[in-house]
Amino acid sequence: MVQRVRPMSRPVHYPLLVHGFTGSSDSWGERIIDGLSGAGLPPVLVDLPGHGREATRDDAPPPTLDVSLQAIADAGDWPTDLVGYSMGARVALHFAVTHPGRLRRLVLESGSPGLADASERAARRRTDEALAARIVEEGIERFVAHWEAQPMFETQRRLSPEARARHREIRTRNEPRSLAAALTALGTGQLPSLWDDLAGIATPTLLLVGSLDRRFVGIAERMAATIPDACLVVVPDAGHTVHLERPAAWLEAVTDFLSR
């Protein structure tokens, strides 16, 4: 499912936004969409395979990496900018490697090139498969409660009860079997490592990460040292989901980068 946010005036380009695992195109929220649109960067919002409206299509294909990359290719008005968060950043990075000529700029929020070590990747794949089985067995509401309780999302507890309830409701709209299939197909353990490909990325790249998300700060620092035309922005007092926890800082960094 693709949503195009139409501007009042003719834009320079339409950045394409790709959400994370358990999310959907609705996860970006009005603050981000309105902020980008107000800056002359009205976004195109895409549901990853296995998520949101894409999972409810009768003719929806299996949520593979190839299907995900094709969904992005079909949605974009190229060349344009690609913005991904977490799992969406991982898929966006694969798109940048496989379709280098289509991108104007690349933004990776809390993203990773994957696991370079094959044994670590196999162990993570087993973990993801067990988690996928849990989604189907327990149902979406119990799984989302488990997912949100992870230490990685602890900083989201500082959000207002209304904001937390809204994003939990978005997550629980997902269909369990489709979400489980997306995890086993697009999880860190399944996708190949791209660490060796980073030096070949010529696209100007913004790496955006929250200062409280120490693991991903380290990953972003390594990526920034490898991608030739990369800049790193560490947002103070933010965790893994910068666009949710510090939307004003996210907008400042992203609109500045995309408007150059």
What mean pLDDT is predicted for residues 188-200?
Answer: 96
Please give the structure tokens belonging to residue 259.
């408007």
pLDDT for the residue numbered 12:
55
Instruction: Kindly state whether residue 8 falls inside one of the protein's structural domains.
Output: yes
pLDDT for the residue numbered 100:
87
DSSP secondary structure, 189-236, as one string: TTSPP-GGGGGG--S-EEEEEETT-HHHHHHHHHHHTTSTTEEEEEET
pLDDT for the residue numbered 74:
94
Kind plus residue range of the DSSP H or E element containing 72 = helix 65-75
pLDDT tens track for 55-107 = 777 677 889 999 999 999 999 889 999 999 999 999 999 999 999 889 999 99
Instruction: Kindly state whether residue 149 falls inside one of the protein's structural domains.
Output: no
pLDDT for the residue numbered 3:
58
Structural domain boundaries enclosing 57 = 2-114+193-258
pLDDT tens track for 207-217 = 999 999 999 99
From CA 146, how far away is CA 167, in angstroms rounded?
A: 14
Instruction: Kindly state whether residue 35 falls inside one of the protein's structural domains.
Output: yes
177: helix, strand or coil: helix
Higher pLDDT: 58 or 157? It is 157
Instruction: Tell me which residue of 60, 37, 28, 8 sits closest to 181, measured CA to CA.
Output: 60
Instruction: Kindly state whether residue 210 falls inside one of the protein's structural domains.
Output: yes
Instruction: Kindly state whether residue 179 falls inside one of the protein's structural domains.
Output: no
pLDDT of residue 251 exceeding 90: yes
Q: What is the mean pLDDT of the chain?
A: 93
Instruction: Kindly state whether residue 135 falls inside one of the protein's structural domains.
Output: no
Please give the structure tokens belonging to residue 104.
């104007």
The total domain count for the chain is 1
Instruction: Kindly state whether residue 17 falls inside one of the protein's structural domains.
Output: yes
pLDDT for the residue numbered 62:
85
Instruction: Kindly state whether residue 155 falls inside one of the protein's structural domains.
Output: no
Residue 34 maps to which CATH number? 3.40.50.1820
pLDDT tens track for 222-231 = 999 999 999 9
pLDDT for the residue numbered 7:
47
245 close to 238: Cβ distance less than 8 angstroms: yes
